[in-house]
Amino acid sequence: MERYFTSQGHHTSSQLVLARHRILKPVLSLQDRARAEVTNGLAILANTAPAAFWVVWHVFEDRDVLDRVRQEVGRIVVVERGVGDGYGGQNSHEREGGRRNDGEGEEHREDENGDKEIRTIKLAKLKHIPLLFSLIQETLRYRACGTGPRFALEDVTLSDGFSSSYTIEKGAMLILAHEGMHHDKRVWGDDADAFVADRFVPGNKIKIPGNAFRGFGGGANMCPGKSFALHEIAALVAMLVMRVDFVPVEGSGGWSEPGMDEGNMAREHTAPKRRVLVRVVPRREVEGVVWRVG
Ligand code: HEM
């Protein structure tokens, strides 16, 4: 990474890497800038991709959940007519054909002026879809396999909130095992080992102590990307449920649990143990629609 910066690699990189380099250069050594770049890349990408996979998995593997998420997302979609930008699967046949019918009552959504039906998923309203946000948090709870390392700067006594307390001596290293914390029946209830999509819907469950959920860590080192990550995964899922269905490829294991690859302790979430092969099938109900997020 040091060589990357000394050979000016960052000048042909993304704006993000370049901006971070400019800001950090006056205050950090080359070695520390290189270290920061490595950990930032890991922090931004390493958890988001597998977490997004597991959220998509939990939405699509349960037909009832999928239908309910679709209904919920449908409520934050704004429908307009206008000139499409081609982003949304238009093809020349549709453009030439104008308004036409596919023979089953499904009307293609281009009017006589060439205007298309544009559906925009309103990002600002994402927080109004409680089931999807609950499902994302439940996925982060259920699938967590990372740790929160902490170094005791002074002697401290911690209570587990039930009957035990522990004296931690200054200088001790603590490794908080998120998986164990997320499956503690005393905190989460008897269904701690089950995936419950609605668990985090406000008002649905017993009040869970804030520090029991370690999906984004906690305290001073709490993940600064938390809100961004929740929204980007929600936006991805919202777009997928509106536009496509996933059909498991025959002989690939279907929607049976693929298991988690727990060989990497450095991450909060990991990839599935086996590949999940699906066919991506555009939904006929929205054929010809131009999709946007806005
Ligand atoms: C679903 C996606 C994500 C998950 C599950 C996740 C989870 C975590 C966890 C568990 C920690 C450790 C916190 C602690 O020790 O208390 C962390 C730290 C961090 N995350 Fe995330 N993260 C995600 C996405 C992101 C994104 C998108 C960014 C940046 C845009 C980001 C930036 C960071 C950074 C910089 C740290 C280090 C914070 C520190 O030590 O002060 N993360 N993340």
- Alpha carbon 141 to chain centroid, angstroms: 13
**In the predicted structure, residue 205 carries a pLDDT above the cut 90:** no
Query: What residues are designated binding site?
Result: 223
Quick one: CA dihedral 286, 287, 288, 294, positive or negative?
positive
Buried b (16+ CB within 10 A) or exposed e, 62-73: beebbebbeebb
Tell me the CA–centroid distance for residue 46 and ligand 1, in Å. Answer: 9
Question: What is the layout of strands, in order, in the sheet containing 116-121?
Answer: 77-82, 116-121, 290-293
- At 149-200, the pLDDT tens digits run 999 999 999 988 888 999 999 999 999 999 999 999 999 999 999 999 999 9
Tell me the CA–centroid distance for residue 216 and ligand 1, in Å. Answer: 6
**Three-state secondary-structure class, residue 213:** coil
Buried b (16+ CB within 10 A) or exposed e, 262-283: eeeeebbbbbbeeebebeeeee
Bigger pLDDT: 38 vs 108: 38
Residue-range domains of the chain with CATH? 1-45 (no CATH), 47-145+179-294 (1.10.630.10)
- At 144-153, the pLDDT tens digits run 998 889 999 9
Query: What residues are designated binding site for heme?
Result: 223
Tell me the CA–centroid distance for residue 207 and ligand 1, in Å. Answer: 24
